[in-house]
Amino acid sequence: MNPRIKKLVGAAALISGLVAYVLVAIVIADFVPKHWIIQLLFYAIAGIGWALPAMPLIKWMNAAPKGRRQ
């Protein structure tokens, strides 16, 4: 796949996935107890959690096309 198209597809997937992730996190946040420690843990985990599924996508976007690896 052409690297420019690969990055365009990856960026679109990243943005749409992040929007979906934020919406789900907002819905779940309504059910988190109002204790400050529990909220701190939830928001810390939710704030970092989006990066886990994004890392393989970013690696795929930046990978060299097959046959052109150096």
**Cα distance between the two ends of the chain:** 17
pLDDT digits (tens, 9 = 90+) for 39-57: 999 999 999 999 998 999 9
How confident is the model at residue 20, as a pLDDT?
A: 96
Question: Domain boundaries in the chain?
Answer: 3-62
3-class state of residue 20 by DSSP:
helix
pTM over 0.75: yes
More confident residue, 25 or 70: 25
How confident is the model at residue 56, as a pLDDT?
A: 93
pLDDT confidence tier of residue 64, bands split at 50, 70 and 90:
confident
- Retrieve residue 42's tokens: 């939830």
More confident residue, 17 or 65: 17
